[in-house]
Homo-oligomer: A and B are copies of this chain.
Amino acid sequence: MTVTLAQAINRGIHDAMEADDRVLMFGEDVGKLGGVFRVTDTLQETFGTDRVYDTPLAESGIIGTAIGLAMYGFRPVAEMQFDGFAYPAFEQFTSHLAKMRNRSRGRVKLPVTVRIPFGGGIGAVEHHSESPETYWAHTAGLKVVSPGTVADGYAMTRAAIAADDPVIVLEPKRRYWMKDDLELPVTTEPLHKAVVRRPGTDVTVVAYGPMLKTAMEAADAAEEEGWSLEVVDLRSLSPIDTDTLVASLQRTGRMVVVHEAAQSLGPAAEIAARMQQEAFYHLEAPILRATGYDTPYPPAMLEEFWLPDVDRILDRVEEALDY
């Protein structure tokens, strides 16, 4: 069937809740309203207000009670309404959700999934378009993933909920309406694996979440220039699948990493650091970055100048090829 990414995620939560009655889903406006993006549409009707519920307006409360619920034995799926509104919960994320298992020497496990619609490109007001993945990916104890395809929207949601570790699922909100075929059961790579979405020979382009589609478009456009791009869907930001990236870089010798997040200390920095170390003798050019700038996310009318797009990717590709 053809579904949107939002529908695929909805179906993923639905099927997880159906398969395991210990799965709960909660957050701000996820119940009757079905979430501000309708990702949780009809779930409350189907599973009742004890399993799908609206919380008070308090993000630390959402993550903190998710931890308590997980200690009790539930498998909570919590939503942060937008990327920019997860920050009030930062202490519960970093000091507890990430560290409780380690602190307890493995005795307390927290199978909590946190869904966060993230990224820009929807013309929203401030705080609704951020890419805070660095904050989570740098935090030991969390797993951080982002689906870039409709199938992964379903499969990564299921895998995150099934995982016994806390997983942050960064949902690319500007792709919620992206449509594709979804055949169940979906078989995809494990949660922590990167996937080559399009093989190529000249330059590897690494992207995830909202930028995967942009990278694929760049690869199409590059063809016209006579460049063959290999597109790798990173999928997981913690852990990062170094081996798949290195293998691709060994084939192409050149790599451009794409993300919306601000450049300095963004995920592309980590990938560049790893690649130049692990594939030093294969580098035909430095690892280049096509990312957001080191400024706050811009107002809606300027976001097209801030966000990486096909042109910015191709500029970096060309720069890499020029070495």
A→B interface (CB under 8 Å) = 60, 84, 87-88, 90-91, 94-95, 98-99, 102-103, 126-127, 134-135, 137-138, 140-141, 238, 240, 262, 264-270, 272-273, 276-277, 280, 283, 285-289, 293-296, 323
Contacts and interface: CB of A to CB of B under 8 A. Distances in A.
Interface-central residue, A137, A264, A273, by most chain B CB under 10 Å: A273
Nearest to A257: B273
A84 B90 CA distance: 11
Contacts of A288: 277
A138 B134 contact: yes
A276 B249 CA distance: 15
A95 B87 contact: yes
Interface-central residue, A94, A127, A137, by most chain B CB under 10 Å: A94
Given A135-B135, A138-B134, A264-B238, A273 B269 contact: yes
Contacts of A267: 265
A255 to B, nearest CB: 11
Nearest to A299: B103
B268 A102 contact: no
A295 B84 contact: no
A296 B140 contact: yes
Given A90-B90, A276-B276, 20 more contacts: A87-B94, A88-B90, A88-B91, A134-B265, A137-B264, A138-B264, A138-B266, A265-B269, A265-B270, A268-B273, A269-B269, A269-B273, A272-B272, A272-B273, A272-B277, A273-B289, A276-B283, A276-B286, A276-B287, A277-B288
Nearest to A319: B277
Contact of A276 (B99, B135, B265, B272): B272
B102 A296 contact: yes
B126 A103 contact: yes
Given A135-B138, A285-B280, A286-B277, A264 B270 contact: yes
Contacts of A295: 102, 140-141
A294 to B, nearest CB: 5
A88 B323 CA distance: 46
A286 B276 CA distance: 6
A87 B98 CA distance: 13
B286 A280 contact: yes
Contacts of A289: 273
A272 B268 CA distance: 11
A262 B296 contact: no
A199 to B, nearest CB: 25
A137 to B, nearest CB: 6
A267 to B, nearest CB: 7
Interface-central residue, A262, A264, A265, by most chain B CB under 10 Å: A265
